[in-house]
Structure 1
Amino acid sequence: MAVSLARKPVPPHRIAASLLFARTFDERPQLLRGIRGGAPIIIIDIGDRIMLDEVALAWQRILFGDDDKLDGISIVDRNDSTPEIHFMIVKEPPKPQVRASNGDITLEELSMARPIIAISPAAKSHLPDVLIRAATERINFPTLDLATIAQIIRIVTGKTIRQPIDANIVERTTLADLVVAVRYDRTPAECVAELRRLSMAKENLKASRELALVDLHGIEEARTWAEAAISDIKAWRDGRIPWSQVPSGIALSGPPGCGKTTFAAVFCREAGLHMVAATLAKWQSSGEAHLGHLLRAMRQDFEEARANVPSCVFIDEIDSFPSRSGVTHSHRDYVVEVVNALLAEVDGIKGRDGVVVIGASNEITRCEPALLRAGRLEKIVTIGLPSAVELELMFRVRLKSDLAQEDLATIVELTTGMVGADVERIVKDARRFARQADDRAMTLSDLRNAIVRPEVRPTEQRWRHCVHEAAHLLVDVILFGPDGVLATMASIGRAGGRSVRTIDPGRFFGTPDDYRRRLQVILAGRAGEECLLGSVSHGAGGEPGLGSDLEEATQLASAMVTRLGLAGTGYLTYFGRSQNVRDELAFAEIREAIGRELSDAAMAAEILVRAHRRALEAVARLLLSSGRASGADVAEVLRGRGSDRTARRVDPLRAHGLAGSERSWSAKDSPTAREPN
């Protein structure tokens, strides 16, 4: 079919739409004959919105020339030799009354035996059911290919392209890229060069973050789900199983930076899924925050997914859709309608064949429970902090060939408790350090410098930090064992030291005593400072922005009182799913119960550190001299084998001029030493 184009410059994306639409009917000559002499029912799905807009402008001219001018839904009155034609272009999912009206019009046209052409992103959700059932031809609109791009360049520039276009460039070229690269004032070679530049920019961006599922460590359960889903999606594509047998909904829960978004992107790439990324904030910002604007934006994202199956809708921060039963404020109706709309989309009322839905949250317990039930986001995967082995694997993946022969044990130790996003940032910073230092090869020191701030603390302050972390470590080992716990004194971020546990204690069964022991560990730093230094610092209390010990302990005690039923028979009440401790503290009885739990735990921690005062001081000295101490080191000290080793070393307190002040640290007489009940 010949395409008539004006001599003046024509946008390349308009030419693309015309060429591809013309090709669609050139490859099906019977359709055009049928339109002129019969009554075919033709449905065309065009998932690309830009392409759909351009086809809507060009299709009539391509088929019938420039004589007829049509807008909206109408009938074309032609000469006696050509039947009337009904056409329908639906760009947005219609409201129920509009869909019903379109169905009535379709029935009328069918009864008159008129040809019908219907164009939409996805027929199932945009067009009347009766039209879909009556369709004699279903067409998926073709995508850009090498021949079409070459023809577009020839039409726009007026010159034939002399050099072949790389297939990878074609694969990554969009309609928007054509507008940027292909211009009438350029030669074909310049157009191709610009397309190559745009393609390389995409490739570089992709390569900088491109990982495979096998490269994702610390999320084994999610990875297992993804591998099974990819296998089943392939079986569905081959027609061997229905979509109902494909695992198509998962909710990921974990701390910020643990890889939830990266997992979704990698899974979509390996499964060959079109990815639609969404958040409640994105939907709200689509208009003026009116409910109708939000719901329309939500609907459009799901329609885009349905128009590009197989696809995936990734919804980040799904805890933004809270439990409807817990919403009590004045805007409750608004929130409930938003949640209901999401449930309807995820549930597949409009059809979810070929669409996977992935949700991600830092606090999955705040989500609407109906969103997590079977048939929606039915698989819930909790992602924790990576182990030492997983951290090293994360570093190796991102370092690639750099530092291949180096031992990363010290780096892993410093980053214990961090997540994948931290690892990525550290490696990026280390590469920058090496690049700015005469573009030399990266060294282990570059990695360390990307983690640890230069040490500028006064000795007195550093000693206080050592005492604080030593107390955490000591009490943790005494109550939960030495495996998988470590304290370091490196200045990382705003913290001057930290004590972390990477292995769940085997003795934790969720009993009141278990939680109270956990409270003792959290408050031990405070008790250690009081024991050895005679006072506590704000680091043991509520210094803003650090997630302080007191904040963490209060949150845990609040959970014991309000949700877990672990604060005694006098407080056996469930106060709801809310995790807003500030709201819970508004109730006097809750404040009283939380205060009692914290006071009891603080007293027990103080008794415990005073009972092991010499061990506490030995561990603190070890931290001051070497900058680290493990659970095994503490166990050795407690067994009495660490004292001589510590004594034989240069006394770090004397070396720093602090030995004379030791008397003031023990000025208070400690109570009779005893183990806490």
Structure 2
Amino acid sequence: MHSKTPRPAFSRHFTYRNLAWFSLVIVTLAAPFVVYWTTSIESAHELPYGRFKQKLVAGEIKRVKVGPTWIVGERTTPDAKGGTVTARFHTSRVGLESDAELPALLAKHIADADYEAEPGPSSIQTVVLPSLMLTVLIVALWFLMRRAGGMGSAMAFAKSRPRIYQKDERRITFEDVAGNEEAITELREVVEFLRTPEKYHALGGRIPKGVLLAGPPGTGKTLLAKAVAGEAGVPFFSLSGSDFVEMFVGVGAARVRSLFQQAEAKAPCLIFIDELDALGKTRGTGSGNHDERDQTLNQLLVQMDGFDANRGIIMIAATNRPEMLDPALVRPGRFDRQVVVDRPDITGRESILKVHVRTVALDDEINLRHIAAMTSGFVGADLANLVNEAALLAARKGKTSVGPDEFHEGVERVIAGPEKRNRVLLHEERLRIAYHEAGHALVSRSLPQTDAVHKVTILGRGSAALGYTLYRPEDDRFLHTRTCLDSMIASLLGGTMAEEIVYGEISDGATSDLQRATQIARKMVTDFGMSPKIGRVSYQSGSQGSGYLGSGNSEYGCSPHTARQIESEVRRILVLAEKAARAILVARRGALEEITESLMARESIDANELREILDKYPFEIRPVATFQDVN
């Protein structure tokens, strides 16, 4: 699907094979010189030049051969028996070639027959061999640089290398995108401009220079950008924000300029930058030196101001964190339009499932609406993974079509991971897990505004879960009341309370439950204004400031006194939810025991089996605003 244009970067062509050839050429050229010099000086004892002259005067030197930078010969040395031994020596004369005393000393102390003065270097040694070596080296470098794409390719890393999707390649259209009808409607105008720009020019209109797609991961932002290019039938330049970031100062800015030069040559076209936050973070924030990133961002701002939207170059960018982008980047005139690509609702999830099951053999009894209802909170990537998991499960079982059981199992695999049937647990541990999960299900079904329990099991999934309770919302919920959040916290604490009622103590298996319950309670106090004591004030949880007093110790951006009040309110909400869960479990102890027995016998129970058990133990659900009246 990608274009066949060559990639000129020097580093991509300078492979290990080329490096081996280059090394072989150097070794071949150096070998004659090494052999020449090593054979010219025979293996002998090293004798400093000064000591050589002393030995010469003392008469211990018997025979010498003088070269331009060395002297070799024989000298006599005394042995242990009082005699003499002849040994070979060599002396280096580097830097001492102008010693005028040496010829006279040699003539005085060594007979003429024992003195051999070596002639100076020949023209072959001084001219031919060095010239030959230099010529071969230049030819080798020229050959390597030619294979790499020319001398300019050594700096090709400063050029932008986007993926270019041409007109004749397979295109993605809006038919391949589902669940984001609002975003598609916004982007159709961009497509119409690229198709018929004269319609807008006649009215003096200007298409947005940039469109920013913001939303959670996996919602289909990149797919939407490709669909715009596919519908318009124009070249599509695709890059990531991190492609511009380098350790060398100026490289990112050069790549931005190169990108827009390539786009202008192929206009009308689309430029798509994924993960824009890697490039366009707010300048002047954080610690450390960000000169390179700031220069790259400044160059992008200049380029977006410099090109005329009526020339047909439109930039589309995607990010998961739009709040981190520099205000100068998202202002009108650059990214004029911001499109939110949110999680799909039940209708959108059904549409996405229809797209992904086009090539999957389904049973006749499959109800995609029912599956969409089970997948509340799933994004497009999750649903694609769900369909694939269901198909793999059906193939593993040897089936010819994918049925509801495979989709149900696929939902659980996507949410909690693969099932751990081979995990060996003690009977006491399995019983405690059964009480824990029964407590979750019982409290959840006994409180108002809670999601329906779809399945309760003591079979572990993933790396940590020893059992779980699967909830299935009947409808998409976009708002949560205080009663709903209180019931959610009590349901999370129901497992721990069940263990305490039965065993008198709790285990360490409720870590995630406590974390989620505490997080919900803290948001109720700091974000949602649901605490009567704190009032309708928002203290954003998380470190978003240095604190009201500047101490930096408060994660709420307030004074230490207010932070203590917030913690006190969070604790109060958790204590009231704990009391509510305990009261329900004590009042319906019989249902708790029967659910536990069913789990120990069958390991899993579904919603119908749970309903049959609870019908035997009626309980009045009181829709109260708080849990203070639950006794």
TM-score (norm 2): 0.55
Q: How far apart, CA to CA, are the structure 1 residues paired with 2:408 and 2:477?
A: 29
1:169-184 equivalent positions in 2, closer than 5 A = 171-172=168-169
Amino acid across the alignment from 1:674:
Q
Deviation at 1:282, TM superposition (A): 1.9
Q: Give the equivalent residue in structure 1 for 2:615.
A: 645
Matching residue within 313, 318, 331 for 1:360: 318
- In the TM superposition, what is the alpha-carbon distance from 1:243 to its structure 2 partner? 8.8
1:195-234 to 2 correspondences below 5 Å:
212-234=173-195
- Residues 178 and 351, structure 2, Cα contact 8 Å, conserved in 1: yes
Contact in 2 for aligned 1:472/1:499 (Cα 8 Å):
no
Residue 277 of structure 1: which of 231, 234, 238 is its match? 238
Q: Tell me what 2:119 maps to.
A: none
Aligned counterparts, 1:69-218, within 5 A: 171-172=168-169, 212-218=173-179
* Aligned position for 2:379: 419
- The offset of 1:236, in angstroms, is 0.7
Which residue of 1 is the match for residue 126 of structure 2?
Answer: none
CA distance in 1, matches of 2:313, 2:5: 19
Identity among equivalent pairs (%): 20
Q: Pick one of 493, 513, 518 that aligns with 1:527.
A: 493
Q: Say if 2:357 is the partner of 1:399.
A: yes
Q: 1:470 to 1:450 in 2, by over 3 A?
A: same
Q: 1:507 to 1:428 in 2, by over 3 A?
A: closer
Equivalent position to 2:400, from 422, 440, 453: 440
Please state if 1:595 is matched with 2:595.
Answer: no
2:469 counterpart residue number: 497
Counterparts of 2:354 and 2:334, CA distance in 1? 36
Q: Is the 8 A contact 2:211 2:338 kept in 1?
A: yes
Aligned partners of 1:403 and 1:442 also within 8 Å: yes
Cα pair 2:214 2:341 within 8 Å, conserved: yes
Q: Tell me what 1:553 maps to.
A: 520
Q: 1:603 to 1:434 in 2, by over 3 A?
A: closer
Counterpart CA distance in 2 for 1:405 and 1:375 is 52
Aligned partners of 1:616 and 1:255: how far apart in 2?
A: 42
Which residue among 379, 383, 391 is the counterpart of 1:431? 391
The answer on whether the counterparts of 1:319 and 1:366 sit within 8 Å (CA) in structure 2 is yes
Match of 2:367, as an amino acid?
Answer: L
Which residue of the partner structure matches residue 651 of structure 1? Answer: none
Aligned to 1:76: none
**Helix, strand or coil: the match of 2:196?**
helix
Q: Which moved more, 1:493-502 or 1:574-583?
A: 574-583
Separation (CA, whole Å) in 2 of partners of 1:675 and 1:382: 43
Q: Tell me how far apart the structure 2 counterparts of residues 617 and 343 of structure 1 sit (CA, whole Å).
A: 68
Distance 1:301 1:566 in 2: 56
Q: Please say if residues 214 and 320 of structure 2, whose CA atoms lie closer than 8 Å, have aligned partners that are also in contact.
A: yes
| CA distance 1:556–1:376, shift in 2 (3 Å) | farther
Q: Which amino acid aligns with 1:350?
A: F
Q: Which whole-Å CA distance do the structure 1 matches of 2:522 and 2:248 have between them?
A: 35
Q: CA deviation at 1:454?
A: 3.6
**Residue equivalent to 2:34:** none
Q: Deviations over 1:587-644 (max 9, x none)?
A: 88386355234213212322443454457986994996875559xx99xx9xxxx877
Whether contact under 8 Å (1:541, 1:550) holds in the other structure is no
Aligned in 2, Cα 1:416/1:591: closer, same or farther, shift over 3 Å?
same
Distance, in Å, in 2 between the alignment partners of 1:327 and 1:355 is 31
1:274-329 per-residue CA deviation (whole Å, 9 max, x = no partner) reads 22222232222xxx522311222233333333332232222222333565377141
Q: 1:645 to 1:558 in 2, by over 3 A?
A: closer
Q: Structure 1 pair 383/611, CA: closer, same or farther in 2 (3 Å)?
A: farther
Q: Provide closer, same or farther for how the CA distance between residues 415 and 336 of structure 1 changes in structure 2, counting only shifts above 3 A.
A: same
Residue 254 of structure 1 and its aligned partner are, at CA, apart by: 2.6
The match for 1:408 is 367
Q: Deviations over 1:375-394 (max 9, x none)?
A: 33333333333333332332
The 5-angstrom pairing of residues 6-85 of structure 1 reads: 50=6
Distance 1:675 1:564 in 2: 18
Q: Distance in 1 between matches of 2:384 and 2:203?
A: 39
- Residue 265 of structure 1: SS of its match in structure 2? helix
Question: In the superposition, relative to structure 1, how do residues 232 and 336 fare at CA in structure 2: closer, same or farther (>3 Å)?
Answer: same
The 2-side partners of 1:405 and 1:321 are apart by 49
Structure 1, unmatched stretches of 5+, are 1-46, 54-88, 96-119, 122-142, 145-169, 173-202, 509-513, 649-671
- Distance of 1:554 and 1:321 partners within structure 2: 36
Cα distance per residue 1:530-564 (max 9 Å; x no partner)? 43221556564359xxx951574387369639x99
SS in 2 for 1:291: coil
Q: Tell me the matched-pair count.
A: 438
Is the radius of gyration larger for structure 1 or structure 2?
Answer: 2
Q: Look up the SS of the partner of 2:192 in the other structure.
A: helix
Partner SS state of residue 301, structure 2: helix
* Structure-to-structure mapping, 1:511-660, within 5 angstroms: 520-521=486-487, 523-534=489-500, 540-542=510-512, 548-549=515-516, 552-553=519-520, 556=523, 560=527, 568=534, 578=544, 585=555, 589=560, 592=564, 594-613=566-585, 614=587, 621=595, 627=605, 645-646=615-616
CA RMSD of aligned residues (A): 5.2
Q: Distance in 1 between matches of 2:438 and 2:546?
A: 32
Looking at structure 1, the residues matched to 442 and 588 of structure 2 have their Cα atoms a distance apart, in angstroms, of 9
Do residues 307 (structure 1) and 268 (structure 2) align? no
Q: What is residue 47 of structure 2 aligned with on the other side?
A: none
Assess if the C-alpha contact under 8 Å between 1:319 and 1:364 holds in 2: yes
Distance 2:175 2:546 in 1: 38
Distance 2:614 2:399 in 1: 47
Would the alpha carbon gap of residues 373 and 326 (structure 1) be closer, same or farther in structure 2, given more than 3 Å must change?
same
C-alpha distance in 1, partners of 2:277/2:354? 33
1:257 corresponds to 2:211:
no
Question: Aligned ranges for residues 306-385 of structure 1 at < 5 Å?
Answer: 306-321=264-279, 324=282, 327-346=285-304, 348-353=305-310, 354-385=312-343
Distance of aligned partners of 1:498 and 1:593 in 2 relative to their CA distance in 1, 3 Å threshold = farther
> Do 2:591 and 2:614's aligned partners in 1 also have CA atoms closer than 8 Å?
no
Aligned counterpart, 2:48: none
Moved more, 428-437 or 413-422: 428-437
SS at match of 1:533: helix
Query: In structure 2, do the counterparts of structure 1 residues 429 and 237 end up closer, same or farther at CA, with 3 Å as the change threshold?
Result: farther
- Residue deviations 1:201-259 (CA, integer Å, cap 9, x gap): xx6xx7xxx5x424433322111112232223322166755795324533333322122
Question: Secondary structure of 1:290's partner?
Answer: coil
In structure 2, distance between residues paired with 1:520 and 1:601: 8
Aligned partners of 1:270, 1:281: CA distance in 2, in Å? 27
Pick closer, same or farther for the CA change 1:583–1:467 going to 2, 3 Å. farther
Using the alignment, how far apart are the partners of 2:232 and 2:278 within structure 1?
A: 27
Q: Aligned partner of 1:223: which letter?
A: I
Deviations 1:44-68 (A, max 9, x none): xxx9975999xxxxxxxxxxxxxxx
